Structure formats: structure tokens, C-alpha cells
């Protein structure tokens, strides 16, 4: 049996989920062999997933979303580096949790990428979920050597609020720093940069932007896209995924020549999921909440697709679910086992998630594992 779950946000890491489910399965079936491949969808938890898969953590100090230094890390294996935006420029890095929708920057993520490149990495995988800002990726490319200049020839400030000041872009330093480096962005977002489905309109409110600030940020991003198009000769603002991470997707596509891939697919590749799947007779996947968002690029749906192609059945564990069985089946998940099936009090579920998951593991073993040794 293989456990390939995402984290239960605010409660358990992906590895802890796997440990608890495995303990319950072995309690019911001492003969069971349980393997774990913790996964993520490109957002927070991506670093943990690849570190569990054998990458090495490399510590870095970089600028947080409002400029303060933060201790973070990237993961490395050979000449491949995995950078998690949430770990340096994410909402979780805002001082005191205070939202700063206008001035939060992606600069620190660019600094981490620059450190990996300076250390000899030739391939950068960038997971972009959980960003704190809406700066169109301007801070990121500035940290990698681009100069974003105002009408007086001075560098502009940080954050989406500064984008209207951009009059020209000097890409000389950026091109020199990233020559020979391939960048892949892991994201499940297909939003464009601007407009009613753009980065500001859809995700700005989650980052603290009210209606007036959303309009201001959307106009700023449109101006940024105009200047980038004038500089590069290509207008990519409407490309699906350009709106990822407050427009970091746009900067990656337009200025770094990045490729976009669904986050879960990329993480499964990096984690060696296909190899771990061989010989398994059941896959247990999961995340904190199974809902409609799960069906659109989240980890459980990606795991179910990959396992389904190999003909391996899949069940899910979760904190709670709003998906009826028919919707789960459409995704390739035979059944879902929720903590709230055992304990309706959410606070108890958050506090005692591991204990409850062990009980669910026992149920899964009893209902889905046949006699004899399993793997």
C-alpha cells in the first residue's frame, strides 16, 4: 500500500498524515507493507515533499514579503533546485500576519532563485502557491538582475503599488544571470494576469485588498504588462497561468521563458511517485478538506489520475469533505474517510488528527486490503 497525501493544513504535515494512516493500517493488518510518498500541489508543503524524496535542504536568508530578512531554504538534488514561494514571499511570512496587499513583494523569491543559480543549479522548479503580494513578479525579476526604471531612470520601489512607475526595463543583468538556466513554474492556476479573472480580482481579496485596492492593482498590472510587451515584443498577460502568485506566473513566462506545469504532476515526478507505485495494491491520498477545489488541480485529484493510469485503486483521507460519492468517483477516488466521521468537533480534529487518522487507517485496511501480504 502507498500513502501519497498532502498536508492537513494547520494540523498535520504530509509525512505525519502518512505515518498515522500507516500505523492504523499495520494495527489492523500487521502483515501490510506501507510506503509513503508525501506530496503537495506546488504551494506550501512542496519543499517538505521533495525533501522527503531525497533532496537536500540549502539554507538561505532572503527578503520577506515586506522587506524584512527571513531565514528560509531551497531544496537541491544535483543541479535541480526547488524553490517554494510561500516559504519566503508567502502570506505565512507576513510580520504579525498583517496583510499588505499593495506593497508585498516577490523579491525574496528571486533572491532564493539567485542563490541557487549562483551555487550551480541549472534547473529551477518554482512552486508558487500562497503568495502574499500582487506585484506581477516584478520583485522576483529585479532580484535576478532586471532593472525596472521610472521616468527619471531610477529603480522603482517594491510591491504592486509601485508598478505604475515603471517606464522602462533593462533586461541585461537578468539575461546574464539566467543564461542556461531552465525555469519551471509549478501551479494549478489558469487565471490570466488582468481582468475579472486576473490576479488582483480573484486573489487580491484573499491578500487583504478591498474593491478600490483590487482596481488599483489590476490597473498597475495592466501597465506592467504594457511595458513588458513593449520591451519583449510579446504580450502574455492573457496566457493561462499568468495570474499565478499575484502575477509571478506572468513574469516567469514573459521574462524568464519559464514553462508552466500543474504543481501536483511536477511534485509527483520529483518525488518518484511512479516508481513507488509499482507493486502497490492501494493508494491512500488526501488533504485537509475535499471539496470542489480538490477537483481542479489539487493533490488528491492528481494522485488519483496517476494511480488510475496504472490501474491502482485510490481512497482518500481528509479532515472533512463536501464532495458526494459520485463526484469522488468521477475523480477516481473510490471512497473518502473524514476525521469528522469520527469526531464532529473541528477543534478536536485539529488537535487529535493523528489519533483519528490511525482509526481511519484501520477502517481502510479492513475494507480495502485483501488477505495476504500487501505493498
Closest CA to 356 of 3, 34, 38, 8: 8
Mean pLDDT across the chain? 95
pLDDT at position 351, please? 94
| Nearest-angstrom CA–CA distance, 158 and 71 | 20
| Residues 283 and 243 placed together within one structural domain of the fold | no
**CB-facing half-sphere around the CA of 54: CA atoms within 13 A:** 9
| Residues 147 and 23 placed together within one structural domain of the fold | no
Q: pLDDT tens for residues 112-139?
A: 999 999 999 999 999 998 999 999 999 9
| Residues 62 and 121 placed together within one structural domain of the fold | yes
Q: Is residue 270 part of a domain?
A: no
Query: Which residue among 239, 263, 287 closes a domain?
Result: 263
Q: Is residue 271 part of a domain?
A: no
Closest CA to 60 of 73, 69, 77: 73
| Nearest-angstrom CA–CA distance, 113 and 129 | 16
- Residue 323 contacts residue 336 (beta carbons within 8 Å): yes
State the pLDDT confidence band at 341, using cuts at 50, 70 and 90: very high
Query: Which residue among 263, 290, 305 closes a domain?
Result: 263
Mean pLDDT of 51-58: 95
Whole domain around residue 193: which residue ranges?
Answer: 46-263
Q: Is residue 281 part of a domain?
A: yes
Q: Is residue 373 part of a domain?
A: no
| Nearest-angstrom CA–CA distance, 14 and 295 | 19
| Nearest-angstrom CA–CA distance, 243 and 199 | 5
- Residue 116 contacts residue 124 (beta carbons within 8 Å): yes
The full length of the chain comes to 375
Q: Is residue 55 part of a domain?
A: yes
Is residue 1 classed as helix, strand or coil in its secondary structure?
coil
Query: Which strands form 182-186's sheet, in the order they lie side by side?
Result: 56-63, 69-77, 80-84, 123-127, 182-186, 259-261
Please provide residue 72's backbone torsions phi and psi, each rounded to the nearest 5 degrees.
-140, -160
- Residue 259 contacts residue 184 (beta carbons within 8 Å): yes
Domains identified in the chain, total number = 2
| Residues 207 and 82 placed together within one structural domain of the fold | yes
pLDDT at position 87, please? 96
> Whole-structure pTM over 0.85, yes or no?
yes
Q: Grid coordinates in use for 300?
A: 488528491
Closest CA to 203 of 98, 100, 130: 130
Closest CA to 112 of 54, 172, 63: 63
Lowest mean pLDDT among 33-42, 254-263, 294-303: 294-303
Rounded to the nearest 10 degrees, the angle between the axes of helix 248-256 and helix 211-232 is: 0
| Residues 233 and 333 placed together within one structural domain of the fold | no
**For residue 50, what are the CA distances in angstroms to 13, 43, 120, 184, 264?**
13, 12, 19, 15, 12
C-beta atoms surrounding 27 within 10 Å: 14
pLDDT at position 336, please? 96
| Residues 181 and 121 placed together within one structural domain of the fold | yes
pLDDT at position 373, please? 39
pLDDT at position 374, please? 42
Using the CB atoms, write b or e for 56-74: b if 16+ within 10 Å: eebebebbbbbbeebebbb
CATH of the domain at 308: 3.40.50.10350
Is 189 a residue whose pLDDT tops 90? no
Q: pLDDT tens for residues 73-90?
A: 999 999 999 999 999 999
| Residues 179 and 51 placed together within one structural domain of the fold | yes
| Residues 254 and 317 placed together within one structural domain of the fold | no
| Residues 91 and 225 placed together within one structural domain of the fold | yes
Q: Is residue 374 part of a domain?
A: no
| Residues 102 and 250 placed together within one structural domain of the fold | yes
| Block residue for cell numbers 481511519 | 360
CATH of the domain at 200: 3.90.1510.10
Q: Which residue has the higher pLDDT, 49 or 189?
A: 49
| Residues 19 and 101 placed together within one structural domain of the fold | no
| Residues 102 and 210 placed together within one structural domain of the fold | yes
Is 208 a residue whose pLDDT tops 80? yes
| Nearest-angstrom CA–CA distance, 311 and 281 | 9
Query: Which residue among 208, 242, 263 closes a domain?
Result: 263
pLDDT at position 372, please? 41
Query: If 0-12 CB within 10 Å is exposed, 13-18 middle and 19+ buried, where does residue 238 land?
Result: middle
Amino acid at each position: 500500500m502507498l500513502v501519497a497525501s498532502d498536508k492537513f493544513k494547520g494540523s498535520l504535515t504530509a509525512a505525519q498524515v502518512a505515518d498515522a494512516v500507516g500505523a492504523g493500517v499495520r494495527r489492523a493488518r500487521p502483515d501490510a507493507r506501507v510506503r509513503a510518498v508525501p506530496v503537495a500541489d506546488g504551494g506550501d508543503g512542496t519543499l517538505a515533499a521533495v525533501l522527503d524524496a531525497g533532496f537536500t535542504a540549502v539554507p538561505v536568508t532572503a527578503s520577506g514579503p515586506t522587506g524584512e530578512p527571513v531565514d528560509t531554504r531551497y531544496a537541491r538534488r544535483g543541479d535541480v533546485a526547488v524553490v517554494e514561494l510561500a516559504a519566503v514571499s508567502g502570506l505565512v511570512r507576513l510580520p504579525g500576519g498583517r496583510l499588505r496587499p499593495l506593497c508585498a513583494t516577490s523579491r525574496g523569491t528571486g533572491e532564493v532563485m539567485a542563490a541557487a543559480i549562483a551555487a550551480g543549479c541549472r534547473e529551477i522548479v518554482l512552486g508558487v502557491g500562497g503568495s502574499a503580494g500582487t506585484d506581477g513578479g516584478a520583485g522576483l525579476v529585479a532580484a535576478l538582475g532586471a532593472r525596472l526604471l521610472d521616468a527619471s531612470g531610477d529603480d522603482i520601489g517594491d510591491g504592486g503599488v509601485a508598478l505604475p512607475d515603471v517606464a522602462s526595463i533593462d533586461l541585461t543583468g537578468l539575461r546574464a544571470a539566467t543564461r542556461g538556466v531552465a525555469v519551471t513554474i509549478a501551479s494549478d492556476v489558469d487565471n490570466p494576469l488582468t481582468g475579472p479573472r486576473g490576479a488582483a480580482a480573484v486573489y487580491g481579496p484573499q491578500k487583504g485588498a478591498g474593491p478600490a485596492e483590487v482596481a488599483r492593482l489590476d490597473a498597475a498590472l495592466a501597465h506592467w504588462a504594457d511595458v513588458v510587451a513593449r520591451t519583449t515584443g510579446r504580450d502574455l498577460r492573457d496566457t493561462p497561468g499568468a495570474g499565478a502568485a499575484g502575477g509571478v506566473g506572468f513574469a516567469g513566462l514573459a521574462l524568464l521563458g519559464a514553462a508552466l506545469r500543474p504543481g501536483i504532476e511536477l511534485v509527483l515526478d520529483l518525488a518518484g511517485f511512479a516508481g513507488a507505485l509499482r507493486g502497490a495494491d492501494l493508494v491512500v491520498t488526501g488533504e485537509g478538506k475535499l471539496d470542489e477545489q480538490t477537483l481542479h488541480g489539487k493533490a488528491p485529484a492528481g494522485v488519483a489520475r496517476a494511480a488510475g493510469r496504472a490501474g491502482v485503486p485510490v481512497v482518500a483521507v481528509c479532515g472533512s469533505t463536501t464532495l458526494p460519492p459520485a463526484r469522488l468517483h468521477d475523480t477516481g477516488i473510490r471512497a473518502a474517510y473524514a476525521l469528522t466521521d469520527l469526531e464532529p468537533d473541528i477543534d478536536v480534529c485539529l488537535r487529535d488528527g493523528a489519533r483519528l487518522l490511525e482509526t481511519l487507517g484501520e477502517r481502510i485496511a479492513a475494507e480495502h486490503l485483501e488477505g495476504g501480504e500487501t505493498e
